[in-house]
Amino acid sequence: MKLLVIGCGQCGGRLADEFARRDKRARTDRGTEIVTEALAINTDVADLSGLTFIKPDHRHRVLIGGRKSGGHGVGKINELGAEIAREEGDRVLDGVARAQQRSDTDAFLMIAGAAGGTGSGAIDEQAQQVKERYVDKPVYALVVLPFRYEELTEDRSIYNVGTCLKSIYLVADAVFLVDNQRYVTDKDSIRNNLARINAHVVDPFYNLLCAGEETDSKFIGSKVLDAGDIIQTLSGWSVIGHGRASVSRSKLPFGGKLDFRNAVAETDKGIHAMNQAKSALSLKCRPDDARRALYLLTAPHEQMSMDLIRDLSSSLRSIATDATIRSGDYPRGKDFLDVTLVLSELTNSTKISDYFSRTLRYIYLKKRRRGEIGEQQVGFDEALRDIPLLL
């Protein structure tokens, strides 16, 4: 699957840069292309200057809102970020239109941090503009949720998350949710933490995107998981995870290739990788809330068997009981067995409901301080309408 990636704001730009890095790796190591173009949009010059792999010209690193922000960002005011994106969105669409291989793009991926100003506001407006211009291609979003310290100390961040999530859900065909806090290591520096988090966020997409773009017959799976399968799976709130098991010791010493103990060890490694993928999902959720799911097994061809595929499918079915499941194999690699897992069309998310509730509380307290309302007496569904749209 080939993506055209657009990163909005500081967080989105850095993740788009990481996707560009993975595309360079795919071209070098596998002779495949997974990103037709990567663009970064920002109101801050310094953030755009800090990118590495996105081309440095003005069509790929797009500075917007120069007159309103002076090139120094919007100070977490996501309404302003949305307004600027609305007014200057044509500049981004021009960069998309000029992409030499746009016709090869299978889908658009918009990326932003939900708690910021530029990204939180611009992703919703920009996604809508792209969707209106390119009606034949799905538009997906990857939205990064804030760190715990941001939630505890910055009330405005919670408001930004609530308004961003409500707006992007109404526009995008699917929204990947990423919880930053799941990847934090306390002993690492800020720079190392952020670089490692970005790598963790993008890593699960690598094999998933490469599998359907292979041209070498040695690496084409018996059951290819390509763009069509991914598009049919992705809908609404979605999460992605990746698990790995070592297969460097290909056979146990006490039997031949067909020894039943080798078959058991092979299956155990696959289930271990699947369990890791479940544990490493980008947002903690209940798998049985998913209505669609897929997994991709990536391993040396001699490590993959029908028994392994059957057991992986059964393992996923046992937790995603109501989901339509798609699967595929990708005979790549030497020393590892990898499982990529996607759960989509999640019907319930405690984390999302909590953000909406806290956003409503923020709005309520703000209005009450201004003397606009008395005691809150409306239900949740009715109150949810009070969360503003950024579109």
Pair 209, 328: CB distance under 8 Å: no
Contact 111, 12 (CB under 8 A): yes
Name the β-bridge partners of 32. Answer: none
The whole-angstrom separation of Cα 45 and Cα 40 is 11
The pair phi, psi for residue 186, each rounded to 5°, is: -60, -35
Q: Which CATH architecture has domain 224-346?
A: 2-Layer Sandwich (3.30)
pLDDT for residue 226: 94
Compute mean pLDDT per 10 residues along the chain, 391 residues long, and list them.
96 97 96 95 94 94 88 90 94 82 87 96 96 95 93 89 96 96 77 88 97 94 95 98 81 50 72 95 95 97 91 95 96 93 94 92 84 58 76 82
List, in order, residues 6 or more apart from 33 with CB less than 8 Å away.
2, 23, 26, 27, 101, 104, 213
* Four-residue CA torsion sign, 110, 111, 114, 120: negative
pLDDT of residue 380: 53
356/352 Cα distance (integer angstroms) = 6
How many Å apart are CA 109 and CA 137, to the nearest integer?
Answer: 11
d(CA 42, CA 97): 19
Alpha-helix residue ranges (DSSP H) falling in the chain: 9-25, 45-49, 66-69, 78-97, 118-133, 148-153, 155-171, 190-211, 227-233, 260-279, 306-319, 350-369, 380-384
Domain with CATH 3.30.1330.20 in the chain: 224-346
Give the CA distances from residue 231 to residues 34, 148, 227, 235, 236, in Å, rounded to whole numbers and listed in that order: 15, 32, 6, 8, 12
Distance of alpha carbon 269 from alpha carbon 253, whole angstroms: 17
The vertex-287 CA angle with 285 and 289, nearest 5°, equals 85
Per-residue confidence (pLDDT) for residue 383, from 0 to 100: 57
Look up the CATH architecture of domain 3-211.
Answer: 3-Layer(aba) Sandwich (3.40)
Q: In this predicted structure, what is the pLDDT of residue 67?
A: 81
Question: Helix, strand or coil for residue 125?
Answer: helix
Residue at 59: amino acid letter: R
DSSP character at residue 386: T
Query: Residue 185: what pLDDT?
Result: 73
Residue extent(s) of CATH 3.40.50.1440 domains in the chain: 3-211
Gap between the Cα atoms of 18 and 382, Å rounded: 40
CB 303 within 8 A of CB 333: no
**Nearest Cα to Cα of residue 292 among 225, 241, 236:** 236
**What local confidence, expressed as pLDDT, does residue 205 receive?**
98
Whole-number Å distance between alpha carbons of 269 and 69: 53
pLDDT of residue 157: 93
- Of 281, 147, 115, 284, nearest to 201 by C-alpha is 281
* pTM passes above 0.85: yes
Query: Both tokens of residue 201?
Result: 């966020």
Residue closest to 234 by CA, chosen among 174, 294, 289: 174
b/e string for 147-177 if b means 16 or more Cβ within 10 A?
A: beebbeeeeebbbbbbbbbbbbbebbbbbbb
